Amino acid sequence: MPRRALRKLDPALDLSFHLKTIDDMPRPWNTSQLFPQDLPLEVEVGSGKGLFLNSAAKQNPTHNFLGVEIAAKYARHAAAKLAKNGYKNALMLSGDAQRLFIEFLPDQSLVAVHVYFPDPWWKKRHHKRRVMNDRFLGEIHRTLTPGGSLHFWTDVRERYDEILELIATHTSFVGPLEVPERQAEHDLD
């Protein structure tokens, strides 16, 4: 993602609830150590500045949302927005989504996974950095509940086709499915 300057954060903002690191993740996994209410959990991989997470937390108070962002300053920025809005059903993990899935998330623990506009990493030597790879898709498949969903968007046609192929090879997901218009607006909010 092209890196733009971020607004300066209010130093008085308490981020202790909304910003976590991988060391704060519960072992064994127990969401009651992260969220006040035990609600179905959705994870967003690569939250950037937290646009989706903030909108989802507001629009769906009956679910918990965990955003994972590897760029620490973006994770902090997204967490600050959640803190400002006072949402108690969403927080940010500043760290690598691959570690969260591989080391922490149990089988069938998520009702949805969201991956919006993952970095395409064009150069061949950078392909290993792509987050939507075969191993990670296997992790998404393992951690979703039966009937759970993977929401995935990209504006790069070539990557879209490649990822659909990986999904068909490494998972038993059905789709792509039509997204109701209201959901599509919500995803882009």
Ligand X SMILES: C[S@@+](CC[C@H](N)C(=O)[O-])C[C@H]1O[C@@H](n2cnc3c(N)ncnc32)[C@H](O)[C@@H]1O
Q: Which residues are catalytic?
A: 119
| The binder of ligand X chosen from 13, 34, 71, 111 (CB under 6 A) | 71
Q: What span, in angstroms and rounded, lies between the C-alpha atoms of 54 and 29?
A: 24
**Which stretches does DSSP call E strand in 79-182?**
90-94, 110-116, 144-153
Residue among 49, 54, 115 nearest 78 (CA): 49
Residue 118 makes contact with ligand X by CB under 6 A? yes
Choose one: 9-17, 26-34, 62-70, 144-152; the region binding ligand X (CB under 6 A): 62-70
162 binds ligand X (CB under 6 A): no
| Closest CB to ligand X among residues 37, 183 | 183
105 near ligand X (CB under 6 A): no
Decide if 59 contacts 51 (C-beta within 8 A).
no
Can you tell me which residue has the tokens 């993740």? 25
| 119 binds ligand X, rule: CB under 6 A | yes
Binding flags for ligand X, 124-153, as an x/- string (CB under 6 A): -------x----------------------
* 51-59 vs 72-85: helix crossing angle, rounded to 10: 30
Least Å from the CB of residue 169 to ligand X: 21
- Which residue number is nearest to ligand X in terms of Cβ? 46
Number of residues that bind ligand X (CB under 6 A): 19
The residue (of 34 and 131) whose beta carbon lies closer to ligand X is 131
Q: Which of the stretches 35-43, 44-52, 57-65, 167-175 binds ligand X when contact is defined by CB under 6 A? A: 44-52
Token pair 């903002």: residue? 13
- Going from the C-alpha of 35 to that of each of 39, 40, 127, the distances in angstroms are 9, 11, 35
41 within 8 A of 110, measured Cβ to Cβ: yes
Of residues 39 and 51, the one with the C-beta less far from ligand X: 51
Beta bridge partners of 128: none
Binding positions for ligand X, rule: CB under 6 A: 1, 45-48, 51, 68-71, 74, 96-98, 116-119, 131
